[in-house]
Structure 1
Amino acid sequence: MTDEMTGPANEVRRAPFDEALSERYLAYALSTITSRSLPDARDGLKPVHRRLLYAMRELKLNPQTGFKKCARIVGDVMGKYHPHGDQAIYDAMVRLAQDFAVRYPLVDGQGNFGSIDGDNPAAMRYTEARLTAIAELILDGIDEDAIDFRPTYDGEGEEPVVLPSGLPNLLANGASGIAVGMATSIPPHNAAELTDALIHLIKHPKATIEKLVEFIPGPDFPTGGVLAEDRETVTEAYATGRGSFRVRAKWHVEDLKGGQYQIVITEIPYQVQKSRLVERIAELVMDRKIAMLTDIHDESAEDVRIVLEPKSRNVEAEVLMETLFRQTDLESRFSLNMNVLVDGGKVPKLVNLREALQEFLDHRHEVLVRRSEHRKAQIERRMEILEGYIICYLNLDEIIRIIREEDEPKKEMIRRFELSELQADSILNMRLRSLRKLEEIEIRKEHEKLAEELKGLIALLGDEGLRWKRIAGQLKDLKKTVGPDTDIGRRRTVIAQAPQAVEVPLEAMIEREPVTVVCSRKGWIRAMKGHLAEDAEIKFKEGDGPGFFLHAQTTDKLLVFATNGRFYTVGCDKLPGGRGNGEPLRLMLDLSNEHDFVQLLVHDPARTLLVASTDGRGFLVKETEVVAQTRNGKQVLNVADKAEAAFCRVAEGDHVAVIGKNRKLLLFAIEELPEMTRGRGVMLQKYRDGGMSDVKFFRKKEGLTWRIGDRTRTEMDLTGWIGKRAQAGRMPPAGFPRSNKFD
């Protein structure tokens, strides 16, 4: 239980602890969602950004005036509107000024505001700032009762609830934030494309997402790059409000002398720090993880220019770049999660593209109505004053007499000429020089002009279709400012299709070097440099000895077949070096102690293997089908309870020789063996007792060979032993080893 104080200090309410805690956490969560982390769908701003822009406007920091110290701006924002840390406010301001972080900067910074390399900005006492022309568009109309104001945190002033936002800022500049239980991530878009989509949505309110995507083909990041996604993927993301976009660096090839070339990267993905990217690629080069690349240079000045030097002119640029895309941030994904505040900034909601655009249009419609009503009230007040002036001019002598002779001239004028108080006050406050005849003419002209404007406003407020036509006109005017022909409006991110699968050879990532794979009887494995001779002196642990001896390359894959019927795959570059006795192979795999290794092979995709168990069952399998992607391996041969996998042979020949522990030999054509990817297989040889002892492939015309000590014997007359698969066979020829093994 806890005592909860709800009012005066002496008022105590008892409540369960979990109830009190959940109530307070919910209040905190709602505050974080609505007042800190999620942007308003109408102006696309969080409170800190909105307060920054408003404070800068109050300081008269428009684009035509000079700059002011950022410390002054931050102080005003913190003292008047945003009672949080000054560094947090300054960080928000800095981001609004970075042209590599914001598609349409809202702050014009002077001084060091950081760089794309990840350099920190200078302290706020050194930097200066003012608003940009785009920020003026967002603030336009704020003095014309276009939006509501609310008291500031201390009640001493007022701040805007939302800005008029003449720019679709939510999508134009994007937003990101993490609240409690939800987050938002909206990439920046091209404002000219947004205006086209908005105009179409005004004409066709039920426009489909597919149609809107024709106007907005994808994000437009400030750092450019290439959007590598299919139209279907983009459409699906915009239709649901969730998804991700793959962004790749922009590059081209520059030819050099002697047929050599270099790759130049001119644009990198959004929010990727250039310095870290270059360091990462340099590390891969130093660690020989990308054998096709020899060096990298950062020649960037104001523009990005990263130069890659391939190992030779025979290296394909596309393959090299595909390798880098896979291993570095030259390719990154930007998530789309359009969680925003709707319903007047009160309710968080996941919106799709059309809903986000409609929220902006509805806001602009409300702003237009409120500004029109405000202007209408201003005109009506001014016309009332002008009508009073006209009455004054028509009765000038009498007005002067009343002012000179009457004790209460205001009341007398109101009674005599049926004036309103506003008209009477305006006449009394007139300057004498305004009584000129020329001034009367100007007043009548102004009255006629205002009457015409008032007529238009009344028509506008009375016709919704006319209002939407006016909003479409405003959007067309906006497009002139941010159109594709302007420097700021030109699309920077190239729209491309999803990349086709490019086969990247392992040599592209690993330095190709010859190695000798040595595995002892007890499973200790190592990779010794170079191709050693089979009689080379190799030391093993006491009580251990040679098991497998294979020549390979560091780019090869090692296939391991175990008694549980599973194949495991290990990269030869991952094997321990030749110093010492190596490491236990089973530690590199998820192989339990009750199972052992049957065969080690250097992977050859062109080969076919025979896998068989001790009970005489087996089948052929393509070697490409047995490569495992995980440490757990890949189950290929299913074995019975008492049997286990025991044989893995390369299928080379036209016949198969099988001998059982019962010393029966059977030969049959390889065509009788089925090709499978997984299973128990078929019976190779039938046994009454025991099981399979050995199996071998051979060519009939070359005869069947076996080893006897140091000698090799060949039997050419095989008529008596050739039969059909699954037969019992007969005793082998005289001189066959008593071990029942071919080798």
Structure 2
Amino acid sequence: MSSDADDDGETRAPAARVDTARIEQEMEQSYIDYAMSVIAGRALPDARDGLKPVHRRILYAMHEAGVTSRASHRKSSSVVGETMGDFHPHGDSAIYDALARMAQGFSMRAPLVDGQGNFGSIDGDPPAAMRYTEARMSPIAEELLADIEKDTVDFSSNYDGRKQEPDVLPAAFPNLLVNGSSGIAVGMSTNVPPHNLGEVIDATIHLIDNPDCTVEDLMDHVVAPDFPTGANIVGRNAVHKAYKTGRGRLRVRAEIETNEDRIVVTELPYQANKARLIERIADDVNEGKLDGVRDLRDESDRDGIRIVIELKRGANPDVVENQLLESHLETTFGVINLALVDGQPKVLDLKETLSVYLDHRREVVRRRSEYDLAEAEDRAHILEGRLKALENADEVVEVIRDAEDRDAAKTALKAAFDFSDDQVNHIVAMQLGSLTSMETAAIEEEYEEVQARIDRLTEILENESELLGVIKDELRDIKEEYADERRTRIIEDTGEVTDEDLIPQEDTLVVVSEDDYIKRMSLSTFRAQNRGGKGIIGADLKEGDRVSSVFLANTHDYLLCFTNQGQVYKLKTYQVPEMSRTARGKSAVNLLDLDDEEEIEAVVDCENLEEGAGRYLTMATQSGRVKRTAVEEFGNILSTGIRAIRLEEGDELVDVELTDGDRDLVVATADGMSIRFDESEVRPMGRDARGVGGIKLEGSDRVVGLAGVDTDDHNWVLTVTDNGYGKRTPVDDYRQQSRYGKGLIDIKTNDRNGSACAIDAVAPGDHLVAMSEDGQIMRTPVEDVSTVGRNTMGVIVMELEDGDSVASVAVIPADRGDTDDDES
């Protein structure tokens, strides 16, 4: 069977022409056609009227149906149906979504639809079904369509050729800037922010008066976008960039009222979803990412936004506000001022945007004037004929009476008085009553008015400045009728504000327990007592937990937290939660990524790790090893920590000191032994090194502490024992030896004293803070502790309850903190 025959044996006619095309070329051209259809026909607004086709068609359909601001509301489903049936052959949901957005006061700066019913909310609630809502044009929307019947814009056939639709609306105000626009096309997107109507009109008038003005000149009038939800734009630089280039990123910040116990949000950034925002804040509070919040509630009503955030007692409102701004209450609006100009997408600066609109408006007024002039001239021609007929009333009446019929009368009148067809038609249709003197005067008055209108319209069309004057007058009228106050404020950009900027610099005591609960307390909480007191409660520990360490740090300092397993973690002191004396603290696992069985053993207050040249972290292990590592090696500590020292099996890190390379090191053991040697005997090593021998231990003895002694700054070595006894011994009593010797007796350890637990170098004016395992804490001047030699028992420093023992000792230098010695 021939290839030209079908299955029934019938012969098919060969194609008249067969074109060969490469598939990549066909796909490319088809995709370009599709892209241009989306760009020009759906996604991007026209720079002249600021509308996308769907919005333009909705408004025109309402105009055609008479659903104006003076008419009663019409069911939204009716408006959508007429728009879809006559002009926009797409899904009804897309049309209704566009209509609903034009009715949302929180989306549009000047809503174009007056809605009745539920058109959605700032909480992200969708509009009610279109059968339940009603709509009509808002008064300002009518200004976009004003004079459309006067041939002011071009029309094209609708999708099925039954009707004509406007290519653009006359637009009596710059709607693109006033209401903004957003959309995603193929390979491009637009995001034009809304503006204040009065400011935009002022800038347009300035451009008319000063065609050579700069963008900076126009920005004297349009200071920044003006969002319908108010809020604040942070800084002017991004606004200037957006207006000069058509692109920019604006920081939009909520309006916040802050006091000691609450934060109240009264305005939200544009396009923020209030319900989702509150949900995210609540999630952060529950997950511990946002501290200090006690309660969160939405008190918003028809009068405006009101989100109340109640703060916990002792929370810093500025810090909580900063955290809220960083994560929730400040957004970025990306400006992309992209619109269609002559059917082509173009990114416009502020002047170009207004210039395109002004060119459009000039054309609209010109065409309207031509239309009105033609009508006025036609009317004047008729009136001239009527006046001529009145002047010759008797002859006209006689000619008409002598004619056989109307047509004969018209022919005779044209021959006798040189009337035109239009004039003679009106004359024949005149009633006898119009021949009265009063009617004659009225016609003469109308003729004078029409003639004056002709003169004015002619002047407008022949004189560019007169035409521009009309545009300015009409813009001023719209401003007077519809403009309102600016809602969005511009606040200065003070740079990125961190939590640290909001935390006052002060010395605090940081307490860590064996179960790794951690907290900080203001140093002023603890006033000095006389030696030998019980102190006051410093922590209310959970059952089975014990205090492991206490140390002094400034809120802005870095803390290096060393664990018994040789890992080191970094955090700022202010990140440790500030709590009351009796509070247990917060689990350190919320701040540090600690492994199981890993406990914080030593904490070093290191003011600035990046400026650590010439400084070292000197470590001592339980087995007597000592290691010195340059501070700069700890400048980039991961959130999971890094290794500070490599430990042998069974060994643990027990103490760390910040040294400068010129100190002597004193290593102390639990059995009361100590050794002093020059820091230089321990050469600097990397973080992965094990260190060198510092002291030889006998039996079950173990290292409990390390002191870095500077003979220019320190007068004594302070030693404290488990049972609360201690002593000051002159530094010179500890003769310098070579490292890794047995050392000398530092303090007697017996049943009364217990084992040695802490050692430190002190000077006049320093204060001692001792904390027991059960959470008692006491502060006393070091000079209250007796000065005695080595190999002595010392005096009682802190009175302890049965079963309690000293857990940790911290020294407050004389130049830090309150040194008031009155008893608390």
Identify the TM-score tier after normalising by the shorter chain. Answer: 0.7 to 0.9
1:103–1:605 distance in 2 versus 1, CA, 3 Å: farther
Q: Distance in 1 between matches of 2:52 and 2:15?
A: 35
- The SS at the match of 1:266 is strand
Contact 1:517 1:552 (8 Å CA) reproduced: no
Counterpart among 371, 394, 404 of residue 397 in structure 1: 394
| Cα deviations by residue, 1:4-50 (Å, 9 ceiling, x for unpaired) | xxxx9965422111110010000000111111111111110000000
Aligned to 2:635: 626
The worse-fitting range, judged by mean Cα deviation, of 49-58 and 199-208 is: 199-208
For the pair 1:491 / 2:486, whether they are aligned, the reply is yes
SS of the aligned residue for 1:391 comes to helix
Residue 176 of structure 1 aligns to a residue whose secondary structure is strand
Larger Rg: 2
Alpha-carbon spacing, 1:715–1:551, altered in 2? closer, same or farther (3 Å): closer
Structure 1 Cα separation of the partners of residues 733 and 512 of structure 2: 42
Shift of the 293–389 alpha-carbon distance from structure 1 to 2, 3 Å rule, reads: same
Q: Paired residue for 1:317?
A: 317
Q: Residues 78-131 of structure 1: CA distance to partner in whole angstroms, max 9, x if unpaired?
A: 000000000110111011011111110110011121222222221111111111
CA RMSD of aligned residues (A): 4.5
1:23 to 23, 29, 38: 29
Give the Å deviation of 1:720: 7.1
1:610 partner letter = Y
Deviation at 1:436, TM superposition (A): 3.4
The residue aligned with 1:308 is 309
Structure 1 residue 240 corresponds to structure 2 residue 245: yes
1:402, CA displacement in angstroms?
Answer: 3.7
Contact 1:248 1:325 in 2 (8 A): yes
- Matched residue of 1:246: which SS? strand
Indicate yes or no: 2:19 matched with 1:13: yes
Q: Which residue of 1 aligns with 2:670?
A: none
Q: Return the alpha-carbon distance in structure 2 between the equivalents of residues 12 and 615 of structure 1.
A: 90
State the one-letter code of the partner of 2:385. G
Structure 1 551/618 Cα, relative in aligned 2: closer, same or farther at 3 Å?
closer
Contact 1:704 1:716 in 2 (8 A): no
Which residue number in structure 2 is paired with residue 726 of structure 1? none
Specify the alignment match of 1:214 in structure 2: 220
> How far does residue 415 in structure 1 lie from its aligned partner after superposition?
2.7
For the residue of structure 2 that corresponds to 1:200, the secondary structure is helix
Superimposed CA distance per residue, residues 235-263 of structure 1 (whole angstroms, 9 cap, x where no aligned partner):
12211111122122213257xxxxx6433
Cα distance between partner residues in 2 of 1:577 and 1:461? 76
User: Cα–Cα, structure 1 residues 294 and 361, in superposed 2: closer, same or farther, change >3 Å?
Assistant: same
Q: Give yes or no for contact 2:49–2:171 (8 Å, CA) kept in 1.
A: yes
Which one of 63, 72, 84 corresponds to residue 66 of structure 1? 72
The TM-score with structure 1 as length reference comes to: 0.75
Cα distance in structure 2, aligned partners of 1:569 and 1:668: 25
Within 2, Cα distance between the matches of 1:566 and 1:30?
A: 60
Q: Tell me the CA shift for residue 354 of structure 1.
A: 1.1
In structure 2, relative to structure 1, the CA distance for the partners of 1:691 and 1:102 (3 Å cut) is closer
Which SS does the other structure have where 1:94 is aligned?
helix
Residue 655 of structure 1 corresponds to: 663
Q: Does 1:149 align with 2:150?
A: no
Contact 1:516-1:532 within 8 A present in 2 as well: no
Counterpart-to-counterpart distance in 2, 1:165 and 1:71: 26
- Letter of the structure 2 residue corresponding to residue 200 of structure 1: H
Deviation at residue 532 of structure 1 after TM alignment: 9.4
Give the aligned partner of residue 708 of structure 2: 698
- The residue that corresponds to 2:383 in the other structure is 386
The amino acid of 1:400's aligned partner reads: V
Counterpart of 1:641 in structure 2 is none
The 2-side partners of 1:584 and 1:237 are apart by 55
**Residue 348 of structure 2 is aligned to residue 347 of structure 1:** no
Q: Which residue matches 2:812?
A: none
Q: Which residue of 2 aligns with 1:163?
A: 169
Q: Distance in 2 between matches of 1:262 and 1:620?
A: 42
Aligned partner of 2:31: which letter? Answer: Y
Shift in alpha-carbon separation, 1:694–1:174, aligned structure 2, 3 A = farther
What is the DSSP-based 3-state SS (H/G/I as helix, E as strand, rest coil) of the residue aligned with 1:297? Answer: strand
Q: Flag the 1:463–1:68 CA change in 2: closer, same or farther, 3 A.
A: same
Corresponding residue for 1:118? 124
Q: Quick one: which amino acid aligns to residue 166 of structure 1? A: A
1:286-685 equivalence runs, <5 A: 286-303=286-303, 304-312=305-313, 314-328=314-328, 330-343=329-342, 346-404=343-401, 405-406=403-404, 408-483=408-483, 489-499=484-494, 501-504=496-499, 516=514, 559=560, 569=570, 582=595, 602=603, 604-606=605-607, 610=616, 619-621=630-632, 626=635, 628=637, 649-651=656-658, 655-656=663-664, 667=678, 684=683
Structure 1 residues 213 and 418, CA gap change in structure 2 (3 angstroms): same
Unaligned 5+ runs, structure 1: 1-7, 255-259, 484-488, 519-528, 537-548, 586-596, 638-645, 660-664, 671-682, 707-712, 722-729, 738-742
1:669 offset after TM fit, Å?
Answer: 7.9
Deviation at 1:427, TM superposition (A): 2.4
Contact 1:175–1:186 (8 Å) recurs in 2: yes
Which runs of no fewer than 5 residues in structure 2 stay unpaired? 1-13, 504-509, 517-539, 577-585, 620-624, 646-652, 668-675, 695-705, 720-728, 746-758, 760-824
Contact 1:666 1:685 in 2 (8 A): no
Distance 1:190 1:246 in 2: 18
Conserved? CA contact 2:617–2:657, under 8 Å: no
Q: Is the contact made by 1:195 and 1:479 (CA closer than 8 Å) also made in structure 2?
A: yes
- Provide the identity percentage: 38
Give CA deviations for 1:353-397 in whole Å, capped at 9, x if unaligned: 111111111111111111111111111111111111112212333
Aligned to 1:185, the other structure's residue is in SS state: strand
Q: Is the 8 A contact 1:340 1:351 kept in 2?
A: yes
Deviation, 1:403, is 3.6
Provide the secondary structure at the position in 2 that maps to 1:117.
Answer: coil
2:220 aligned counterpart, secondary structure: helix
> Aligned to 1:129, what secondary structure does the other structure show?
strand
Query: Structure 1 residue 75 and structure 2 residue 81: aligned?
Result: yes
Q: From the superposition, tell whether residues 602 and 211 of structure 1 become closer, same or farther in structure 2 (CA, over 3 Å).
A: farther
Amino acid at match of 2:351: R
Q: How many residues align structurally?
A: 635
**In structure 1, the residue corresponding to 2:333 is in which secondary structure?**
strand
Q: 1:587-616: per-residue Cα shift (whole Å, max 9, x none)?
A: xxxxxxxxxx9x986574537761599999
